[in-house]
Structure 1
Amino acid sequence: MEKPHSGFSKLQYFPASFFGMIMGMTGLCIGLLKTESMLDLAIKPGEYLLFFVVILFSILLVGYLYKMVRFKQAFWEEMRHPVKMNFMPAIAISLLLLSIAFWQIEAVKVSFNLWLLGAALQLVLTLWVLYNWIHHDFFKIEHSNPAWFIPIVGNIVVPIAGVHHVPADINWFFFAIGIVFWPILKSVLLYRLIFHPPMPERLLPTLFIFIAPPAVGFISYVALTGGQLDGFAKVLYFFALFFTLFLVFSINKFRHLNFALSWWAYTFPLAAMSIASLTMAQIANSQAYQLIGWLVMAALTVMIVYFFYKTLIAAKQNKICSPDH
């Protein structure tokens, strides 16, 4: 008989938020691959990182599938939890981001299969989360936090690789879901942040998720329009840039937080901002945007190495996959 909180029984507490690690690392991988292409580098760090991320994603996915099969009650509790349910689409987004990375290394069939699985799962999870948001009897305003963007951002990610795989209308369908719901949710969350008690400290890193919808929206919109830099594209990019500056301005609010898995919420939005800046640099032929992209990427690289180390330490100290975390 398994001990209550040892071995495989710990997987009943395995959180879907763990896949935020994959989102951040794959985002960095895409940025590195883009940089390799722009500079025609002989060294390929992006490809090495992609290999590592695939292995890590496979391990996490097997662990989560085990939880789904072995600990059904724990899985459904997470699926219905007013906060945790919003992290579930991180699995779908991870698949979509891996699809983008594999497209960049010209593994077209792998990219398509990952995209197909990720897009289908993203749609199902978006419907599930939206159904629970609307047909509920348990949500309170305090439950809302920037992680609510995750189910929405996933839809905006779909067209980035999707433009290479499926007809345009399918990609516009997903883009429309995300880009219309983004300002609605942004209004709800700003109301909650301004007029209600502060979020718990462990959720403060999720404020960085505010960067993701406009940054990813810019990348996706440019992909959908064939590289056009029109007024709407500029609005998306510059709002993402503004919010990045705002969070840098607010850095003291984050400096003394205790480590939690929510720290990985810093990474994917910054990766999106880096990739958006590099994309802007290519279209506008501007070294200024290129510099922004590389500065953000450098900071992101340091953060990911540090967060990975902290995650390993936390796992060793049984601070992850436990009933209290």
Structure 2
Amino acid sequence: MNPEPQVPATTTRLENMPISFFAVVMGLCGLTLAWEKAEQVMIMPFMVSPYHAAITAVVFVLLLGGYLAKYVLHRDAVFKELRHPVRLSFFPAISISLLLISVVAYPFDPQISKILWLVGAGLHLLLTLFVLASWINHTHFEIQHMNPSWFIPIVGNIVAPLGGVQHGFIDASWFFFSVGLVFWLVLKVIVFYRIIFHNPLPDKLLPTFFILIAPPAVGFLSYVKLSGGIDAFATVLFHTALFLTLMISTQMMKFARLQFFLSWWAYSFPLAAMTVAAFVMAEATGKDWFQVVAVGLFIILNMVLALLAARTIEAMLRNRICVVED
């Protein structure tokens, strides 16, 4: 009797490729933008950001190609993620990645940057409306499904002005900023209600706490782009982000004990956004203590990204990523 044919491991891993992988691109974009700002503010004698930009572009193309292959070969698995109460929120990470790559690409080719922004902004608007419709018309979401990753689809709109302003899309940038800012306030209340009055987040989702930092930090950067300077509202956004960074730092021992999950990449982009925000604040105000905060965060960011890259590569080599998950 002939044995049953074995399903190739590559096929199985492709089928289980998680949409949350695109958080890696967001983190790498954040690192690139942090290096660009550090090179400007600290007048470094060497340029590292172009290499980070190239790596980020390659990773994005590989992940996008992989996920498109998953859609072609395992469409049911993609639709399953679209119905998942947590993974649904990561689909807009694709459009946010495009918006961030647009900012990264601007110094090298403004025209390509503009095209990337237009595609990313249009796609993100569609995904925002899709996710909102899914939330409104759902039949299976419960309060325990709520976690900070739910910020990604709606609050991710705040990212758009980072590239939109430099391309002259002022009205569109205000539109995206307004949507992201208002829904940040709404969703933040729900997230804190879920965290305080219901069971703690499972270990796998604990790193998403860092996402709390991103809305005010990116909001600060976008608002400064839109308004052209630091005013009272910008200062409120920056200090809110700084407080949330301090609040989350009190939980570091809990994070240090966690098993590695792909969700660890939730550490990266919010930390990068806070680092860039601190550099912008230091540059605008000329105050030394903002510079100290910025340099300290920059050092931590590079250490965290090095750790994330190493642990991710190790997990891939040991076949611990792209496996069946709940």
* 1:219-262, Cα deviation, whole Å (9 max, x unpaired): 000000112x1111111100100010111122122110000000
Q: CA deviation at 1:106?
A: 4.2
Number of the residue aligned with 1:113: 115
Instruction: Give runs of aligned pairs for residues 163-174 of structure 1, distance below 5 A.
Output: 163-174=165-176
Q: Deviations over 1:27-86 (max 9, x none)?
A: 010010112122333411111111111111111110011111111111111112111000
Distance in 1 (alpha carbons) for counterparts of 2:222 and 2:33 = 14
Q: Please give the root-mean-square deviation of Cα atoms over the aligned residues, in Å.
A: 1.4
**What amino acid is the match of 1:176?**
S
Rounded Cα–Cα distance in structure 1 between residues aligned with 2:14 and 2:59: 16
Counterpart-to-counterpart distance in 2, 1:174 and 1:291? 32
- Partner-residue secondary structure (3-state), 2:117: helix
Is the 1:86–1:147 contact (alpha carbons within 8 Å) kept by the matching residues of 2? yes
1:177-196 alignment, distance < 5 Å: 177-196=179-198
What one-letter code is carried by the residue in structure 1 that aligns with 2:98?
L
Q: Secondary structure at the match of 2:259?
A: coil
CA contact (8 A) 2:206 2:255 kept: yes
CA distance in 2, matches of 1:205, 1:3: 36
Q: What amino acid sits opposite 2:188 in the alignment?
A: K
CA distance in 1, matches of 2:90, 2:134: 14
Deviation at 1:25, TM superposition (A): 1.3
Query: Which residue of the partner structure matches residue 216 of structure 1?
Result: 218
Query: 1:2: how far off?
Result: 7.9
Q: Which amino acid in 2 is paired with 1:225? A: S
CA contact (8 A) 1:95 1:118 kept: yes
2:156 aligns with 154
Number of aligned residue pairs: give it: 323
Distance 1:13 1:128 in 2: 23
Letter in 1 for 2:208: T
Q: Which has the larger displacement, 112-121 or 172-181?
A: 112-121
- Preserved CA contact (<8 Å) 1:153 1:216: no
**Cα distance between partner residues in 1 of 2:15 and 2:192:** 33
Structure 2 residue corresponding to 1:25, chosen from 28, 37, 43: 28
Q: For 1:48, which of 51, 57, 66 is the aligned residue? A: 51
Deviation at 1:167, TM superposition (A): 3.0
For the 8 Å contact 2:41–2:279, the answer to whether it is kept is no
Separation in 1, partners of 2:288, 2:53: 27
How many Å separate the matches in 1 of 2:111 and 2:62? 22
Question: Normalising to structure 1: TM-score of the pair?
Answer: 0.96
State whether structure 2 residue 264 is matched by structure 1 residue 263. yes
Superposition deviation, residue 154 in structure 1: 1.8
Do the aligned residues in 2 keep the contact of 1:92 with 1:154 (CA within 8 Å)? no
Change (3 A) 1:3 1:222: farther
In structure 2, what is the equivalent of residue 235 of structure 1? Answer: 236
Letter in 2 for 1:270: L
The answer to which of 263-272 and 289-298 deviates more is: 289-298
**Rounded Cα–Cα distance in structure 2 between residues aligned with 1:314 and 1:190:** 32
SS at match of 2:323: coil
Please identify runs of 4+ aligned residues in structure 1 that moved more than 4 A: none
Superposed displacement of residue 316, structure 1: 1.4
Q: Please identify, of 159-168 and 171-180, the stretch whose mean Cα deviation from structure 2 is larger.
A: 159-168
Residue aligning to 1:284: 285
Unaligned runs of 5+ in 1: none
Partner of 1:303: 304
Q: Which segments of 5 or more consecutive residues in structure 2 lack a partner in the other structure?
A: none
1:57 aligns with 2:60: yes
- TM-superposed deviation, 1:153: 3.1
Question: Tell me, what secondary structure is at the counterpart of 1:254?
Answer: helix
Determine the C-alpha separation between the residues in 2 that align with 1:3 and 1:315: 21
